[in-house]
């Protein structure tokens, strides 16, 4: 075979030689089209990789920052049982953060770099965690509404086109389901209690309802990345579709609990087959996201301090790894 013949056959064989970008793009598009997974070693467009790193990092940061509002009540839980449940939940959230940082590493991101971006406010986390937890009813309402909204957001991500993210979400969703139930069970218990306990549940519901609806992100018309993310199979439903699903699911739960939801416009619409609801205050959402929520400064300050306090652990791990490597080189010589 002559050199020119070899070149010609390589150009037509799909896996011989170095395929050009167009060929790789076609292969990527076909994989998405067939609803199969993209894996870390596969070629992917740079925009796809960057979008995933940004989304997964933001998700990981939310899990880690989300430990703070609930961690606040660990030492003041009303019973040993409630303390054990809350401790298990907060630990789960740490685990979720770690899986997700690992998923970003399969895309070439560096965990230390992502943490640096979080604590210097160059990357965001969910706006919901910038609201304060004022009493133990908030723990129940967070489980019910915040973890409930997280489930609606995250179940479709189990079918995300990026393999490591989709697989991480399967386990995360199972744990989120426990979080939602423990919250609802706590609220059920409080609603069977004194008038004061019932008032606490209603007050916490009133405070967390709107921020929970904001967890689905801005309205579709104001969410420029949604379409591309859906075309890539990263996202499966729009923000407004997910918000509606959450509301339809939650209204009967509020009825069963015996609390009212703080929206006079909330009503069943027979024609649409969904609940109608009022528009959340998007100005507040933007303000909180931009850093001016009630607890933004405190959350970041705590995260920064925890990172600095952990410096000795990272130093010790690095020294240990260096010693191991040295020993291995010594043994090989």
Shorter beta-carbon distance to Fe ion: residue 89 or 243? 89
Give how far Cα 208 sits from Cα of 62, 75, 220, 318, 333, Å. Answer: 17, 22, 22, 42, 63
Plot region of 66 (φ>0 → left; ψ -120 to 50 → alpha; else → beta): alpha
Residue with tokens 């009825």: 255
Smallest distance, Å, CB 91 to Fe ion?
11
What is the length of the chain? 333
Which helix (H) or strand (E) segment holds residue 304: the answer is helix 296-309
Pick 149 or 213: Cβ nearer Fe ion: 149
**Residues 250-268 as b or e (16 or more Cβ within 10 Å = b):** bbebbeebebebebeebee
Instruction: Give 176 or 263: the residue with its C-beta nearer to Fe ion.
Output: 176
Nearer to Fe ion, 69 or 280 (CB): 69
Tell me which residues touch Fe ion (CB under 5 A). 63, 93, 96, 147, 176, 179
Burial of 187 (0-12, 13-18, 19+ CB in 10 A): buried
CA-closest candidate to residue 56, choices 148, 168, 178, 149: 168
Task: Say if residues 200 and 192 touch (Cβ distance below 8 Å).
Answer: no
- Residue nearer to Fe ion on the CB measure, 138 or 176: 176
Judge whether 210 and 281 are in contact, CB under 8 Å: yes
Question: Minimal distance in Å, beta carbon 106 to Fe ion?
Answer: 19
Instruction: Please identify, using beta-carbon distances, which residue of 32 and 151 lies nearer to Fe ion.
Output: 151
Contact 175/109 with Cβ under 8 angstroms? no
């Amino acid at each position: 075979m002559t050199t020119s013949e070899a070149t010609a056959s390589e150009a037509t064989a799909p896996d011989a030689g170095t395929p050009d970008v167009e060929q790789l793009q076609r292969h990527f598009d076909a994989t998405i089209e067939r609803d199969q997974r993209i894996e870390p070693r596969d070629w992917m467009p740079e925009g796809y990789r960057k979008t995933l790193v940004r989304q997964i990092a933001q998700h990981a940061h939310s899990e880690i920052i989300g430990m703070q509002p609930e961690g606040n009540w660990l030492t003041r839980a009303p019973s040993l049982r409630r303390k054990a449940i809350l401790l298990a939940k907060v630990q789960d959230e740490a685990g979720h953060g770690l899986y997700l940082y690992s998923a970003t590493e399969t895309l070439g991101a560096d965990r230390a770099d992502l943490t640096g971006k979080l604590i210097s406010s160059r990357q965001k986390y969910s706006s919901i965690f910038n609201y304060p937890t004022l009493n133990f009813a908030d723990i129940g309402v967070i489980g019910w509404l915040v973890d409930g909204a997280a489930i609606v957001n995250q179940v479709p991500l189990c079918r995300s086109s990026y393999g490591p993210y989709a697989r991480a979400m399967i386990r995360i969703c199972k744990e989120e389901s426990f979080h939602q139930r423990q919250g609802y069970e706590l609220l059920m218990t409080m609603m069977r209690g004194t008038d004061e306990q019932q008032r606490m549940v209603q007050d916490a519901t009133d405070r967390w309802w709107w921020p929970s609806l904001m967890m689905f992100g801005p309205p579709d018309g104001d969410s420029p990345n949604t379409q591309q993310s859906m075309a890539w199979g990263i996202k499966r439903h729009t923000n407004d579709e997910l918000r509606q699903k959450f509301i339809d699911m939650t209204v009967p739960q509020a009825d069963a609990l015996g609390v009212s939801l703080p929206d006079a416009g909330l009503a069943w619409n027979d024609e649409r087959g969904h609940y109608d609801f009022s528009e959340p205050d998007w100005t507040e959402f933007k303000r909180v996201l931009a850093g001016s929520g009630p607890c933004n400064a405190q959350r970041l300050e705590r995260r920064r301090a925890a990172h600095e306090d952990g410096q000795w652990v990272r130093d010790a791990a690095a020294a240990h790894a260096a010693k191991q490597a040295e020993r291995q080189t010594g043994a090989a010589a």
